[in-house]
Copies of this chain bind each other. A is one copy, B any other.
Amino acid sequence: MQKKHILFLAAATLLGAVAVNAANDEPIQPIKPPTGVNPDMAELGKKLYFDPRLSKSGFISCNSCHNLSMGGTDNIPTSIGDKWQEGPINAPTVLNSSLNLAQFWDGRAADLRTQAGGPIANPVEMGSSHTLAVGLLETIPGYVREFKKVFNKSKIDIDQVTMAIAEFEKTLVTPNSRFDQWLLGNAKALSKEELAGYQLFKNSGCVACHNGEAAGGNSFQKMGLMEPYQTANLAEGRAAVTGEDAERFNFKVPTLRNVELTYPYFHDGAANTLSEAVDIMGRLQLGKKFTREENASIVAFLKTLTGDQPDFKLPILPPSTDRTPRPTPFK
């Protein structure tokens, strides 16, 4: 697929990089609304996503670090976990995460279901355990009823919990960005500068990694290809998963969808602004120093990737009962 895009790029460059305003020919594809979502399961998953009782403290929910009011991120370099512990890596956006080839920066979870179980039981994140979380949900009649309705099993288990959260997350795609409107034929959806930014983005090679529906998320790539990336962050990338030293600093390419909202950037959250991120990417990945104007036009293009944000009512959580274990935030 990448090869095809590079060939296309070469062709487009030969032709004078005329804007071919037809989605089929572009390396970035419009986001399609989700299909095949089980609405009851997604509704249950939404409640779980917002429920801080899945954490030891009763204070941290999925939405704490993947805040759907803020582009599905926490907008902090690395996240805050149980007892204010500093997380090891930047929280990736949950928006369009169903389009990723794998989950987490190092891809250690194959899919959203596997991912969803991680933070609940991670002592640096929500600090609970699957047993505690399931046991707690079993004491809440509102949940028991809803799990029964969705899964029709005699007991709640962690697979149902993570399946429901993942089902909700499948709904978190963001179609209808101005860029997608342009891809779908509305020539007026982009300004001249934004379009020029896109051309530059394509012609410079950014699309080699940032392509497909999510403009990323579909490959692992080395951070620091032409020049090494300097960071105090200890994350190893794919090497931590595969044990292959050659894959050190190979990270999942982040989606550029809604990138205007998902600052700060990179796995260590070290780039505060889009302009900084574009500059570093140009130099380290492409060996290219963008001029100030080029940088601004790419940034202008990137801001057209902001799509429809989550659009649903704040979920109201079923109350605990006398039997429900109480959170222990200070123990």
* B residues in contact with A86, CB < 8 Å: 329-330
- 8 A Cβ contacts from A17-76 to B: 50-53, 57-59, 64, 67-71, 74-76
**Interface pair A319/B80, CB less than 8 Å apart:** no
In whole Å, how far is A310's beta carbon from the nearest beta carbon of chain B? 6
* B residues in contact with A272, CB < 8 Å: 322, 326
* B residues in contact with A264, CB < 8 Å: 326
In whole Å, how far is A233's beta carbon from the nearest beta carbon of chain B? 13
What is the bound-complex CA distance between A272 and B261, given in angstroms? Answer: 40
Residue in contact with A69 in the complex, picked from B50, B263, B322, B329, CB distance below 8 Å: B50
**Interface pair B83/A58, CB less than 8 Å apart:** no
- 8 A Cβ contacts from A242-265 to B: 260-261, 263-264
Q: Per-position contact with B for A289-331: 1 when CB-CB < 8 Å, else 0?
A: 0000000000000000000011111111101101000110110
In whole Å, how far is A180's beta carbon from the nearest beta carbon of chain B? 18
- Give the interface of A toward B (CB within 8 A): 50-53, 57-59, 64, 67-71, 74-76, 80, 83-84, 86, 260-261, 263-264, 272-275, 309-317, 319-320, 322, 326-327, 329-330
Which 3 A-B pairs rank lowest in CB-CB distance, beginning with the nearest?
Answer: A84-B84, A273-B322, A309-B316
A-B contact list, 10 entries, CB within 8 Å: A52-B67, A59-B80, A68-B314, A69-B317, A70-B319, A264-B326, A272-B326, A274-B322, A309-B316, A313-B314
Given contact pairs A274-B322, A311-B313, a sample of 18 additional A-B residue pairs in the complex whose CB atoms are under 8 Å apart: A50-B69, A51-B69, A52-B74, A53-B75, A58-B74, A58-B76, A59-B64, A59-B74, A59-B80, A68-B314, A69-B314, A69-B316, A75-B320, A80-B329, A83-B84, A263-B319, A273-B322, A313-B314
